[in-house]
Amino acid sequence: MRALSVDLAERAYPVLVGPGARYEVARFLPPSAKSAVVVTQEAVWDAGWAGHLDPGVPVETFLIPDGEDAKTLATVQSLARRFTGVGLSRADVIIAVGGGIVTDVAGFAAATYHRGTAYVNVATSLLAQVDAAIGGKTGVNLPEGKNLVGAFWQPNAVLCDTETLSSLPPREWACGRGEIAKYAFLGDAPRADMPIEEQVARCAGIKAAVVAEDEREGGRRAILNYGHTLAHALEAAALADHDEWDLRHGEAVAIGLVFAALLAQRLGRIDEARVTEHRRVIGSFDLPSDLPPDVDAEELVTFMGRDKKAQLDLTFVLDGPDGVQPVHGVAAADVVATLADMGARR
């Protein structure tokens, strides 16, 4: 078992990586907890990853729907009402068992229920283990965009049980690999040929260090969104009017990484060799690099303008001579031209 730490002074918490990590959940309940609720999904429950947890206190289990359609304020309201129905108090604990959707939604419910209730993340997907479950960013979507409503609310612990990855379908592996490919440009680079525990631990270590330095994304933490500005725009467009794209988050991030490299090259920040390195890394994780069919560049730029990093301008996280960093004030014409180079309609 690998033990890492997100060092946030008195709010520091551990990240455990390895087989069987989920069985450690009782260690990280607040001393005040007299009961717990588990928030999970049907597929996770059916796989057995949530049913055998023993938090050491009486527990109720609530299921939320699968997919991005579950990431809504309506789901959070439904959970809060169910918490109230079983008498969950602010002194108790919420245990999120699942992938990034579960940890995002349950974490936001925890952040807002009684104005803040403790929670523990038991991450069962690769995406959650390498990224989504760590760092305390919780939230839900609006029709206008991804993760536009949320809160920073740190968990008591994150348990990355690599045994649970055995039940993931191939597309869910792609979700996580897109984030791993991102981390390859941010620090102690994980490689596709490493054991999965090592890949998860390296990604978790990079994220923990960045979060400890910039918890609320006031500066350096923005680099964790590398590839995500286009990715979130693609996902928002798919939710709004292009469900035929069938694009998973990690696949969108992979495409976003290629776009970010090409945009950085257009702006003179990197050379062709560095773009080629992006394509090589993405290919090594067997991820897509092309836009979906029938992409409209102007539509995507509209969604990009709603990105959380934007400050009355178009902001991107881009590679450059000093590494990956936020770049403000990128001209829309350069964005459209880069998308057009990738096959988008102008």
Q: Is 137 a catalytic residue?
A: yes
d(C-alpha 265, C-alpha 257), whole Å:
12
Residues 16 and 152 in one domain: yes
Residue ranges making up the domain that contains 24: 2-168
Domain membership of residue 175 (yes or no) is: no
In this prediction, residue 144 carries a pLDDT of 82
Q: What is the CA radius of gyration of the chain?
A: 19
Residue 238's Cβ-count burial label (10 Å; 0-12, 13-18, 19+) is middle
* Catalytic residue of the set 232, 242, 308, 309: 232
156 and 247 within one domain: no
Element (DSSP H or E) covering residue 317:
strand 316-318
Backbone φ, ψ for residue 173 (5° rounding): -65, -40
Would you say residue 128 lies in a domain? yes
Question: Which is catalytic among the residues 217, 235, 251, 299?
Answer: 217
Active site residue 232: yes
Q: Which residue has the higher pLDDT, 189 or 273?
A: 273
Active-site residue, from 22, 71, 137, 242:
137
Determine the average pLDDT of the residues in 105-129: 98
**Average pLDDT, integer, range 298-316:** 80
Residue 70 pLDDT more than 90? yes
What 3-state class would DSSP assign to 208? helix
Q: Mark whether 225 is an active-site residue.
A: yes
Residue at a domain's end among 149, 168, 187: 168
Find the catalytic residue in 202, 225, 242, 278. 225
Look up 171 and say whether it is catalytic. Answer: no
Q: What is the average per-residue pLDDT within 225-251? A: 91
> Is 70 exceeded by the pLDDT of residue 122?
yes
Query: Could you tell me if 242 and 163 lie in one domain?
Result: no
> Mean per-residue pLDDT for 259-277?
98
At 310, is the pLDDT very low, low, confident or very high (cuts 50, 70, 90)?
low
CA angle (72, 75, 76) in 5-degree steps: 95
Q: What is the mean pLDDT of residues 246-267?
A: 96
- Are the C-beta atoms of residues 37 and 70 closer than 8 Å to each other? no
Question: Would 188 be classed as within a structural domain?
Answer: no
In the annotation, is 278 catalytic? no
Q: Are 151 and 139 in contact (CB under 8 A)?
A: yes
Tokens standing for 310?
């934007």
Number of domains the chain is built from: 2
Given pLDDT bands bounded at 50, 70 and 90, which one contains residue 67?
Answer: confident
Average pLDDT over residues 74-92: 98
Active-site option among 24, 71, 172, 179: 179
The question of whether 249 is a catalytic residue gets the answer yes
Report the alpha-carbon distance of residue 111 to residue 97 in Å, rounded: 16
How high is the mean pLDDT of the chain? 94
User: What distance in Å separates the CA atoms of residue 278 and residue 64, rounded to the nearest whole number?
Assistant: 36
* 228 and 249 Cβ atoms separated by less than 8 Å: no
Share of the chain above pLDDT 70, in %: 98
Query: Quick one: which of 214, 223, 137, 211 has its CA closest to 185?
Result: 223
What are the pLDDT digits (tens) for 148-203? 999 999 999 999 999 999 999 988 999 999 999 999 999 888 999 999 999 999 99
Same domain, 137 and 26: yes
For residues 163 and 238, state if they share a domain: no
Does residue 308 surpass a pLDDT of 60?
A: no
Annotated active-site residue 144? The verdict is no
| Same-domain status, 109 and 248 | no
Determine the average pLDDT of the residues in 125-139. 96
CA distance 113 to 79: 9
Across 141-168, b (16+ Cβ under 10 Å) vs e yields bbeebbbbebeebbbbbbbbbbebbeeb
pTM for this predicted structure: 0.90
Whether 242 has a pLDDT exceeding 90, the answer reads no
The CATH number covering residue 65 comes to 3.40.50.1970
Average pLDDT value for residue range 226-241: 91
Indicate whether 220 pLDDT > 60: yes
What average pLDDT does the segment 202-224 reach?
A: 94
